[in-house]
A = this chain, B = another copy of it.
Amino acid sequence: MRDQNPAKGLQRAELARRTGANLETVRYYEKVGLLPPPPRTASGYRSYDRAHERRLSFVLRARELGFSLEEVRALLRLVDERDQPCAEASRLAAAHLADVRAKITDLRRMEGVLKTVVAQCGDGTRPDCPLIETLFREAAVE
């Protein structure tokens, strides 16, 4: 290991490992402005600190909750500006919750149809395949 004196100067790979992010993802987040560009060593290597790690973890957790990068950006602005973030944050979360629920509804519809056709297909020895017939015959959906 190169330089891992405590509390200063994480390299990108170390930051990625500690946060569970992919190396390239960290680079990407920096490129699109979600992470501030860290200071560099004399030879140009990035040197991250705890604040970067905290911020990256924030982004990753927001992503795990399905927030888009645009939404994450908005959340980070709320964090940085530190006014009364809760009302706006709550609004964002509620809107996103509605998105998530809409997606669940969509997927459940798909699940229902698929479950039915898989059951109808059985062991697959039928000459007329229920899946294929379904796709040809009717609107698969209402």
A→B interface (CB under 8 Å)? 54, 57-58, 61-62, 64-66, 75, 78-79, 84-94, 96-97, 100-101, 103-104, 107-108, 110-111, 113-115, 117-118, 121-132, 134-136, 139-141
**Given A64-B140, A107-B66, A114-B97: A124 and B54 interface contact (C-beta under 8 Å):** no
Q: Give how many copies assemble into the complex.
A: 2
In the assembled complex, the Cα of A72 lies from the Cα of B122 at a distance in Å of 20
**Given A75-B135, A135-B61: A100 and B87 interface contact (C-beta under 8 Å):** no
In the assembled complex, the Cα of A136 lies from the Cα of B103 at a distance in Å of 26
A86 to chain B, nearest CB (A): 4
Is chain A's interface secondary structure helix, strand, loop, or mixed overall? Answer: helix
In the assembled complex, the Cα of A132 lies from the Cα of B119 at a distance in Å of 44
B97, A107: Cβ atoms under 8 Å? no
A90, B131: Cβ atoms under 8 Å? yes
